[in-house]
Amino acid sequence: MRKIVFIFTILFLWQRAYSEETYDPSADALADIKSAVALAKETDKHVFVKVGGNWCGWCKLYEKFTKADEDIMRIMKDEYVFILVNWSIENKNLDAMSYLGNPQRFGFPVFVIIDGDGNVLHIQDSALLEDGKGYSKNHVMRFLGVWKADAVDPSRVSAE
C-alpha cells in the first residue's frame, strides 16, 4: 500500500511540475469570470473560458497543442481574454457552471465564449475540434475565428 501511495505521489508531483496551466480549485471562478468580462469590455475582446481541471489529460493535450502553434497563440492573444475555470471533485464551481450554461455536460475541456457585456455566446464541445488523430488546427482556427468580437458584431462584419 505504501508503494502505491508513493507512486501516485510521484506521478502527481511530476504532472504538476510539467504542466504550465494550473487550475485552482480554491479560486472564486465566478469572480474570475466577471474580472475577465470587465477586461474584455475594456479591450474590445471576448472571453475564452477553458473549463477543466488538473486531472484532465485532454486539457493538457489541448494546452500543449495550442502553445505549439504560433497562429493559434496569436489569435488567442489578439482576440481573447483567456481564463481557466476549475471543475473537480474538490470544487465543481456550481455557481460559475450555472452562469456559463452548465458546459460540463459536454465533458472536458469545454470552451465557453463570453462577450464584454457578460453574455455567454457559445459553448464548444472540444471533441468537435478533433480530426480523429487529435486536435485539428483547421477546426480550432475556424472556431476561434468565428467567435472573435469582430466576427459576431453585425456592424463590423464584412461581406468579403
CB 129 within 8 A of CB 140: yes
Range of the domain at 74: 21-152
Q: Which residues contact 106 (CB under 8 A, 6 or more apart)?
A: 123, 124, 125, 126, 127
Residue 80 placed within a domain: yes
Residues forming beta bridges with residue 48, ordered by sequence position? 82, 113
State how many domains the chain has: 1
Domain containing residue 111: CATH number: 3.40.30.10
Instruction: Give pLDDT, residue 155.
Output: 79
Low-confidence residues of the chain, pLDDT below 70? 1-19, 157-160
Residue 8 placed within a domain: no
Residue 14 placed within a domain: no
> How many residues can be counted in the chain?
160
The whole-angstrom separation of Cα 103 and Cα 121 is 12
Residue 29 placed within a domain: yes
Instruction: Give pLDDT, residue 136.
Output: 98
Q: List phi, psi (to 5°) of 61.
A: -65, -45
Instruction: Give pLDDT, residue 118.
Output: 98
Residue 47 placed within a domain: yes
Residue 15 placed within a domain: no
Residue 10 placed within a domain: no
- How is 36-70 classified by DSSP, letter by letter? HHHHHHHHT-EEEEEEE-TT-HHHHHHHHHHHT-H
Residue 12 placed within a domain: no
Instruction: Give pLDDT, residue 11.
Output: 47
CA-CA-CA-CA torsion for 13, 18, 19, 24, nearest 10 degrees? 30
